[in-house]
Amino acid sequence: MTAVEGARVYLRTGCAGCHGREGEGGRAPRRAPRLVKVEPGPDVDPWAAARILPYRSPYATTVWDYINRGMPLNREGTLTADEVYALTAFLLYKNDVIAEDTVLDAQSLPQVKMPNRDGFAPLPDWQPGMPRLPGYPY
C-alpha cells in the first residue's frame, strides 16, 4: 500500500472529519490533533514539531499499531490491515518520511527509518523492585 491509496482511505474512513482534510488538526468541537508537522522540509527537529506521532515516533510500526488499535475514534477495529498500511504510508509521506510511491507492507514497514529514531534516551534494563522513572509516564 502507498500514500496514494492512503489519501483515499483517509477521506473514505472519516479521518478528515476529525483531523482535517490535510491532517492540519480539527476545529471545535472535534479537536483532534494535527497529524502533519507544521514546517515544510525534511530536516525539522522532531521535538520542535509538536506532538506528531507519524513524525516523532521512533518506529513506523508504532504508527501502524496506533491507527490499527485506536482509530477511527469510536469506530476502532473497523479498518483492514491494508487500509492501516495505506494510512500509515499517507501520514509518513505527508511528514516527509517516505516517498509518495513507497510501498508499505509487513516486510517494508519495520525497515522505515524514522527521523527521530535516535532521538530517544535508552531505557535502563528493568530489575525487580525498581522504582518508576521520575515523571513516568509523563
By CB under 6 A, the count of residues binding ligand HEC is 21
With a CB cutoff of 8 Å and minimum separation 6, the contacts of 48 are none
Q: Distance between CA 20 and CA 42 in Å, rounded? A: 22
Give min distance, CB of 76 to ligand HEC, in A: 9
For ligand HEC, the binding residue among 21, 27, 30, 117 (CB under 6 A) is: 30
13 binds ligand HEC (CB under 6 A): yes
**Alpha-carbon distances of 92 from 27, 28, 82, 131, 135, rounded to whole Å:** 23, 25, 15, 36, 29
Site string for ligand HEC, 73-102 (x = CB under 6 A): xx------------x---------------
Contact between residue 95 and residue 74 where contact means Cβ atoms under 8 Å apart: no
Interface ranges with ligand HEC (CB under 6 A): 13-15, 17-19, 30, 32-33, 35, 51-54, 66-67, 71-74, 87
